[in-house]
Amino acid sequence: MLRGQGPALAYEGSDKSRPGRFRLGIWIPFRLAFRLEHGMTSTMETPASIPSVSRVAAVQLCSGPDPADNLEKALASIETAVDGGAQLIMLPENTLYLRLDNTETAPILFPDSSEFEALKQAARRHQVWLLIGSLTEDSGDAARPFNTCVLVDDKGEISATYRKIHLFSLNAGKPSDIDEADTIAPGDTLVMAKSPFGPIGLSICYDLRFPEVYRALAMAGATILAVPSAFTERTGKVHWKPLLQTRAIENQAFVIAPGQTGQHGENRRSYGHSLILDPWGTVLAEAGPEPEVIWADLDMDALRRIRTYVPSLKDVRVLPVMTVSVQGTTDGT
């Protein structure tokens, strides 16, 4: 399977009194606030101190409703990823809990649970950065927790968190229909995380269908786009790979998309086929339909060449108008 920073944006928060506005004919739900830092002149620059090549891994799981069982699978996969030389490991959405019944009360796993603590300890023990695709976080509504992506650094400390904004619905008149708004509370802030591998734009699953999310992250300086997912088999067969390749190409960024796979209970099946893509849209590594780990080397020199060869990000004329929160302290400088 193995082939082959930019300035921060000041967080101002969403404008709840004005939930949207028109600008240049586009309905915009958030406000953008640019604040240049580090003396950089362009959001497209990447610090020279970021390693030219970093090895990453995407973990594909088949999670269920038992956090302890899911943790065992995740820890074993982390060990495999480390054995393959990964410095940055990404786990899929619903890493430790995948709901099978909408009447269930989801266990709150972030920030205080023994399972989450075990994942932090694994990152610290192996001295790797670990992206946990999503964990349940208390939202104040017991029936609708946040679905929160968590980036943990190589010391086992929380570096960044992102609450899923876009909530998936599938209405085909079948028992497997989904409406995540019934069981998940939405977030309202985009997040880019500083890391020694380059700035990482965080997203989760259904966010993939909203290109403005990734353009905002790319314009903020993201060189890696994380898309931990639990894509359904029905939609994944036709949309998963084309959407991921499009996000990589249009934002000239690496895309790492670890996914859930296989049958979860009676009415839910995930597509799998986790992917790692380069900024040209080329597949660096692709999983099949079974749980597994894939690896790839991210070549930042190749990213710079692509962004110089086709400088489309510098030619953007219609800027995204969204709030991006920059989190973390390690940016490769």
Q: Is 93 a catalytic residue?
A: yes
Residue type, 330: T
> Regarding beta strands 275-277 and 283-286, do their DSSP bridges make them parallel or antiparallel, or are they unpaired?
antiparallel
The number of CA neighbours under 13 Å toward the Cβ of 331 is: 22
Alpha helices (H) in the chain, listed in sequence order: 67-83, 114-126, 211-220, 233-235, 241-251, 300-309
CA gap 192, 213 in Å, rounded: 11
Report the sign of the C-alpha dihedral through residues 229, 233, 234, 237, in that order: positive
Q: Is 149 a catalytic residue?
A: no
Asked if 196 and 330 count as a contact pair (C-beta separation under 8 A), the reply is yes
**Tokens describing residue 25:** 């004919």
| Active-site hit among 73, 120, 164, 194 | 164
User: In which residue are the tokens 């989760």 written?
Assistant: 204
| Active-site hit among 62, 73, 93, 241 | 93
CA gap 77, 83 in Å, rounded: 10
Query: Which long-range contacts does 100-104 make (Cβ < 8 Å, 24+ apart)?
Result: 100/64, 100/65, 100/264, 100/265, 100/266, 100/267, 100/268, 101/65, 101/265, 102/182, 102/183, 104/65
Sheet with 324-327, side-by-side order of all strands: 283-286, 275-277, 254-257, 224-226, 200-202, 190-193, 324-327
Give residues with Cβ within 8 angstroms of 130, minimum separation 6.
78, 88, 89, 90, 91, 119, 120, 122, 123, 151, 152
Residue type, 145: P
| Active-site hit among 115, 149, 194, 205 | 205
Q: Is 250 a catalytic residue?
A: no
**Residue positions annotated with a catalytic role:** 93, 164, 205
